[in-house]
Amino acid sequence: MSSNQIPDYELEEKRVVTTPQELRAMGHRIRSRILDLVLERAATVKEMAEAIGRPPSTVAYHVGILVDVDMLKVVRMRRVRAIDERFYGRTARVFYVGAIEPEIATHLPNLLAVAAASSRPAHEADQLRAVLRRARIPADRATEFWEHIMELVGAFDQLPRSEGTVYAFVAGLFPNDYPILPEREEDLT
């Protein structure tokens, strides 16, 4: 693997998740943060705890849940004063939510709502870049467009990390009840 590769360990590109256990695991706020952190590089429980401001015992508990559902794994170890220190990484770059039962969907956070809440300070400081568009298109074109968005997400994930500001990137594509113009009655050419 290239030393410039993000994260700094091998992982699958995409894994489809559908079980209630997987959805609950990735839907929890602390576990979601853990998964986000290790997308940049592998980390120890101590490093993750420091980053999110939680006790190592709490983080270890949540790491255990993510390991149990195969979303995290030990990617390397090092010996520190007679103790094996474990570095955890994701098992996949993208955990794609597959077909799920509607009652199970309640275990997933609305990522657009999460992003909207976390974007408030940037909005108030006039540092928010956002766009909202609507288009009347068939479902297969929406799927094709979403694949392009996921390519863009992959490019964002691979941007070199530096000592700068952390930026968030959010995208959403969803059916929307929005007014449309009626069909034209005559050709205006």
Residue type, 80: V
Report cis status (omega within 30 of 0) of the bond before 7.
Answer: yes
1-101 belongs to CATH 3.10.129.10: no
pTM for the complete prediction? Answer: 0.74
Are 56 and 45 in contact by the 8 Å Cβ rule? The answer is yes
Alpha carbon 105 to its chain's center: 16
- State pLDDT tens for residues 114-139: 888 889 999 899 998 888 888 889 99
Domain residues of the chain, as ranges?
1-101, 110-179
Are 38 and 88 in contact by the 8 Å Cβ rule? The answer is yes
| 121: three-class secondary structure by DSSP | helix
Which has the closest alpha carbon to 114: 178, 170, 45? 170
- State pLDDT tens for residues 143-176: 899 899 988 988 888 888 877 888 888 888 888 8
